[in-house]
Amino acid sequence: MVYSDTVMDHFKNPRNVGEIKDADGTGNVGNPMCGDMMTITIEVKDNVISDIKFKTFGCAAAIATSSMITELVKGLTIEDALKITKDDIVENLGGLPPIKLHCSNLAADALKKAIDDYREKLNK
Amino acid sequence: MIMVKKSVYLDNSASTRVLDEVVSAMIPYFTEIYGNPSSLHSFGIKAKKALDDSRKIVANSINANPEEIIFTSGGTESDNIAVFGVAAARKDGRIITTKIEHPAIKNTVQKLKTQGFEVLFIDVDYEGFINIKQLEESINADTILVSIIHANNEIGTIQDIETIGNIIKTKNPNTYFHVDAVQSYMKLPIDVVSAKIDLLSIASHKIHGPKGVGALYIRNGVKLKSLQLGGSHEKNLRAGTENVPGIVGFAKAVELNLVDLEEYTKNLVFLRDRLIDGIEKRIPHVILNGPRGVSRNSNNVNISFKHIEGESILLYLDMQGIAVSTGSACSSTSLKPSHVLEAIGLPVEICHGSIRFTLSRYTTKEEIDYVLEVFPKIIAKLRALSPLNAN
pLDDT of residue A80: 96
Contact between B16 and B208 under an 8 Å Cβ cutoff? The reply is yes
pLDDT of residue A2: 86
Q: Is B313 on the interface with A (CB under 8 A)?
A: no
- From the list A11, A92, A53, A88, the residue with the least C-alpha distance to B330 is A11
Rounded Cα gap, residues A33 and B351, in angstroms: 9
Rounded Cα gap, residues B130 and B115, in angstroms: 26
In what side-by-side order are the strands of the sheet with B94-98? Answer: B69-72, B214-218, B199-203, B176-180, B143-149, B94-98, B118-122
pLDDT tens sequence across B95-119: 999 999 999 999 999 999 999 999 9
- A59 chain-B contacts, CB cut-off 8 A: 309, 311-312, 328, 330-331
The sign of the CA dihedral A73, A78, A80, A83 is positive
CATH class of the structural domain B8-17+260-385: alpha beta
- To the nearest 10 degrees (0 to 180), the angle between helices B261-282 and B365-385 is 30
- CA–centroid distance for A70 within its chain: 5
DSSP A69: H
pLDDT of residue B329: 60
Query: Which of B309, B333, B338 is the mutation pick for testing A, counting most A CBs within 10 A?
Result: B309
A99 Cα to chain B: minimum distance (Å): 7
Q: Is B320 on the interface with A (CB under 8 A)?
A: no
pLDDT of residue B3: 55
| Residues with pLDDT less than 50, chain B | 1, 391
Contact B385 A55 (CB under 8 A): yes
pLDDT of residue B196: 98
User: What b/e sequence results for B210-226 when a residue is b if at least 16 CB atoms lie within 10 Å of its CB, and e otherwise?
Assistant: bbbbbbbbbbeebebeb
- ipTM rounded to 2 decimals: 0.91
* Inter-chain contacts counted by CB atoms under 8 A, chains A and B: 63
Rounded Cα gap, residues A55 and B319, in angstroms: 22
Rg for chain B (alpha carbons), in Å?
22
Catalytic-role residue among B319, B330, B384, B388:
B330
Rg for chain A (alpha carbons), in Å?
14
May I ask the CATH architecture of the domain B20-259?
Answer: 3-Layer(aba) Sandwich (3.40)
pLDDT of residue B391: 46
Rounded Cα gap, residues B312 and B296, in angstroms: 26
- From the list B219, B216, B180, the residue with the least C-alpha distance to B198 is B219
DSSP for A4-19 reads -HHHHHHHHS-SSBS-
pLDDT of residue B333: 58
Q: Which amino acid is at A25?
A: G
**Three-state helix/strand/coil letters over chain B:** CCCCCCCEECECCCCCCCCHHHHHHHCHHHHCCCCCCCCCCHHHHHHHHHHHHHHHHHHHHCCCCHHHEEEECCHHHHHHHHHHHHHHHHCCCEEEEECCCCHHHHHHHHHHHHCCCEEEEECECCCCCECHHHHHHHCCCCEEEEEEECECCCCCEECCHHHHHHHHHHHCCCCEEEEECCCCECCECCCCCCCCCCEEEEECCCCCCCCCCEEEEECCCCCCCCCCCCCCHHHHCCCCCCCHHHHHHHHHHHHHHHHCHHHHHHHHHHHHHHHHHHHHHHCCCEEECCCCHHHECCCEEEEEECCCCHHHHHHHHHHCCEECEECCHHHCCCCCCCHHHHHCCCCHHHHCCEEEEECCCCCCHHHHHHHHHHHHHHHHHHHHHCCCCCC
Q: Which amino acid is at B239?
A: A
Give the nearest chain B residue to A3 (CA atoms).
B315
Q: Is B380 on the interface with A (CB under 8 A)?
A: no
pLDDT tens sequence across B67-86: 999 999 999 999 999 999 99
Rounded Cα gap, residues B117 and B113, in angstroms: 5
pLDDT of residue B2: 55
According to DSSP, the β-strands at B143-149 and B94-98 are: parallel
- B328 chain-A contacts, CB cut-off 8 A: 35, 59
Rounded Cα gap, residues B372 and B140, in angstroms: 49
B70 phi and psi, to 5 degrees?
Answer: -115, 145
Contact A56 B387 (CB under 8 A): yes
* C-alpha distances in Å from residue B198, one per residue of B55, B121, B136, B343: 17, 20, 18, 27
Query: Which of A16, A57, A70, A99 is the mutation pick for testing B, counting most B CBs within 10 A?
Result: A57
Rounded Cα gap, residues B154 and B102, in angstroms: 9
According to DSSP, the β-strands at B118-122 and B94-98 are: parallel
Q: Which amino acid is at B206?
A: K
- Averaged over successive runs of 10 residues, the pLDDT of chain A (124 residues) comes to 92 96 95 84 96 94 95 96 94 91 87 96 86
Domain boundaries, chain B: 8-17+260-385, 20-259
Rounded Cα gap, residues B365 and B290, in angstroms: 22
How long, in residues, is chain A?
124
